[in-house]
Amino acid sequence: MRNINRALLALIVAATPLSGALGGCSDSSDEKNTTDELSEDCSLNSDCGDPLICAFSRCHKQCAADRDCPTGQRCVTGEEDDAEEADKPGVCQLPIEKECEEDRDCNGGQYCGPDQECRDGCNDDSDCNLIKDYTVCTPSNVCAKEDEVGSDGDLPPAGGGSEGGAGGATGAGGGSGGASEPTPGDAGAGGEPAMGSGGAGGASGGTGGTTGGKTGDGGAPSGDDCSLEDVGNDSRDEATPYEFDTEFAGCLQSREDTDWYEFTTPEEPVQGGWLLVGMKDVGTSGGFYLTVYSTEDNAQLQQGYGYQGANGVVYLPVAAGKTFRAEVKMYSAIPPEYTFYASYTPLMDEYEPNDTREEAKPIALGEEIRGHAFQGFASATAPTNDEDWYEVDLAAGNMQITLDQPETIGHYVYLYDETGAQKGGNTYGTAGVDVSYEWTSLDRGKYYVVVRYYTGQMSRGQATTAPDFETEPYVLTVTQD
């Protein structure tokens, strides 16, 4: 029976991207999606979807050992205020939390190891008993696995080659708990040099893989056979102007190269819309981070990544007439070639702007009003929920409102009289459900109908999936019988 259950579980895991990735035995694309979903900003555990927990201001999967984590991620000690050290839960280290040049690049009690990866800090072995298998306190004061350390008891330095042969000790030390796992920066199957082995001093050739010399500091890495010239878009001030729905073939010409793109959403319609920014045709040996920034506060709004040929895409609800930038930079050891693209899906709400009583739009009885309760981001500050105000003249008697709701967004409906007094209570319709309400014995006069977004709040938390990517309008109708 147990075997059958296991088989069923395996099937479910295989069929469900999210489950597959959470299961820790995912392929790289599943892992990518989930990692981005996990990395939402947070300050409390309750900011994260259960069972994720908040650590280092991001949502993480809990773990006790590497094998609890998505492939290639290290289990590290999490933070929990007031918790005794021994009670701090382990969390799966996100890719963006891994690489470092010095200690201050690392979270919490982590130090930057000789392999230029953030690891739990320690003074002696007794400090390294919180995460399974990381039992050795190295001379460089970071916790490591026994099979990661060399004969001197320490981790091989980044770029210093390794003592272990092809892709050897450093490959394992790439931080993933197994050279067989296709981790970013791993010296694995593709012969791609690990961050910790083919890096800065790559000339020492520790990895011995056929591509081992690609990222050596001595010469420009060839990346994914990138023959494109660098267009010089190396900073946000030099961003390449980008037009929606075009494709831009690019390449990171070196490990340090960054490519910036800049684009502006149309002024009309004023409701704003959905931004999608993506990378495809990604070289099969390299990897990238894709980050979207606002220009109002230069804040990071969204980030995704992909490697070893995987595409990456991020979604974001955005305001009309705003300029954004996207940055492409290296994620794994080899700078990739890629195709950058972005699209914008505007939401037509001809009654906007109508966010206040003063802006209320007159409507007629029986008129089918198609609107969107939507607000997009212009900066890191979350927009308030959209309100749509309508003004309608009613005869004395009863009034009915029907609201057909799109699949993923629920709405409040309020009624106010001309003096600003609310008539009746709050009404709320569950997303996807068509609702109708009736008010009885109203006096003749001018009234205001308000439709208000209610499905949590506009979010930029989901990097690669957009559960609220809703382009259907609601349909509001006011009648009197």
Q: Which residues bind Ca ion (CB under 5 A)?
A: 230, 253, 257, 259, 349, 354-355, 371-372, 386, 388
CA 11 to chain CA centroid, Å, is: 27
State the nearest-atom distance from the C-beta of 98 to Ca ion, in Å. 23
State the nearest-atom distance from the C-beta of 170 to Ca ion, in Å. 28
- Residue 15: CA atoms inside 13 Å, Cβ hemisphere, count? 6
CB 203 within 8 A of CB 193: no
Taking the least distance from each CB to Ca ion, the nearer of 184 and 371 is: 371
State the nearest-atom distance from the C-beta of 254 to Ca ion, in Å. 8
Q: By C-alpha distance, which of 451, 441, 454, 447 is closest to 476? A: 451
Residue 1 neighbours by CB under 8 Å, 6+ apart: none
CB 278 within 8 A of CB 254: no
Distance in angstroms between the alpha carbons of the first and the last residue of the chain? 63
Taking the least distance from each CB to Ca ion, the nearer of 66 and 468 is: 468
How far apart are the C-alpha atoms of 124 and 127, rounded to whole Å?
6
Which residues share a beta bridge with 427? Answer: 413
State the nearest-atom distance from the C-beta of 239 to Ca ion, in Å. 12
Taking the least distance from each CB to Ca ion, the nearer of 398 and 459 is: 459
Taking the least distance from each CB to Ca ion, the nearer of 130 and 450 is: 450
Taking the least distance from each CB to Ca ion, the nearer of 164 and 335 is: 335
Q: What is the DSSP string of 377-427?
A: BSSSSPPPPPEEEEEEEE-SEEEEEEEE--TT--EEEEEEETTSPBPS--E
Length of the chain: 481
State the nearest-atom distance from the C-beta of 128 to Ca ion, in Å. 41
Taking the least distance from each CB to Ca ion, the nearer of 187 and 239 is: 239
Taking the least distance from each CB to Ca ion, the nearer of 253 and 405 is: 253
Q: By C-alpha distance, which of 262, 258, 168, 236 is closest to 207? A: 168
State the nearest-atom distance from the C-beta of 335 to Ca ion, in Å. 8
Q: What are phi and psi of 238, to 5 degrees?
A: -115, 20
How far apart are the C-alpha atoms of 377 and 386, rounded to whole Å?
12
State the nearest-atom distance from the C-beta of 311 to Ca ion, in Å. 19
Taking the least distance from each CB to Ca ion, the nearer of 131 and 450 is: 450
State the nearest-atom distance from the C-beta of 273 to Ca ion, in Å. 12
